[in-house]
Amino acid sequence: MNPPTNDEQRKLWNSSSAYAWIDLQESLDQMFKPLSDLLVEATATESVRSVLDVGCGTGGTTLALARRLGTEGSCVGIDISEPLIATARSRADRESTPAKFIHADAATYAFEPASFDALISRFGVMFFDDPIRAFANLRRAARDGAEFRFIAWRDAVENPFMTTAERAAVGLLPNIPPRVPDAPGQFAFADRRRVSSILESAGWAHVDVQPIDVTCTAPERDLDRYFTQMGPLGRILPQADEATRLQVIQTVRAAFASYVYGAEVRFTAACWFVRARR
């Protein structure tokens, strides 16, 4: 039997989901900057010179760390999405930041063994069909003593902002796909014990999973684009007729009212900050 692949994720992240992230790149970079900053501060030490960013998307965190390490460092981002990697490469070229980007599946890519001092990820590791196999592959890319630090969402109940759109629209769009616990996706790592078990089964040691609650902000002017393009609603809404779309937008916009503070949208990201060592 062939091992499971990330075919569904590859299809998802090379379609409208990728272009939504590209369209909202600046807004999303601002939204998640506090989380990227945590990873950069924890990783940019004197002993770290080569870093792999897993599921790097449009490269915001990779580029931030590359700027911090400077010419003495080497930062590589990897992502399954060709459009996101193309955007990341363009950003690096525009600002002359010495970061490299690989379009490939991190779960199976043939990394040079023991080639990275550190690995990081901001919301990029929750999408593997076979996470143990994926983390074992990433472990082979790490040098002895290298640390893997990543941030993943806790559960949906603790992150109501992230499900506001689909909850508000469910009566108008009954075909919104349900969230499946532990399935690849945004909340796949909600269970703290499961995260630890996956990493330990993949051979990582000194696993530490700590809760963090971080205030995130984004421009209010981007809110409508955000909820109409992102997540389950963003994938279903284009299939609706015009009258339904307008009704959904009006209903969902009202549901976000408690997160709007003048020209800013503000919410708390309830996440895990995970550390493990090779």
For residue 150, give the nearest of 105, 183, 86, 198 by alpha carbon: 198
Name beta bridge partners: 270: 213
**In the predicted structure, residue 16 carries a pLDDT above the cut 80:** no
Q: What value does the mean pLDDT of the chain take?
A: 93
Cβ partners under 8 Å of residue 119, min gap 6: 51, 52, 53, 54, 138, 141, 142, 146, 147, 148, 149, 150
- The pLDDT, as a whole number, for residue 15 is 64
Return the exposure string of 246-269: e unless at least 16 CB atoms fall within 10 Å of the residue's CB, then b: eebbeebbeebeebeeeeebbbeb
pLDDT tens sequence across 128-142: 999 999 999 999 999
Judge contact between 24 and 226, C-beta under 8 A.
yes
Residue boundaries of the structural domains of the chain: 7-155+180-213+270-277
Q: What is the DSSP letter of 51?
A: E
Q: What band does 3 get if pLDDT is binned at 50, 70 and 90?
A: very low
Architecture of domain 7-155+180-213+270-277: 3-Layer(aba) Sandwich (3.40)
**In the predicted structure, residue 181 carries a pLDDT above the cut 90:** no
The pTM (predicted TM-score) of the whole model is: 0.93
Q: What is the mean pLDDT of residues 236-255?
A: 95
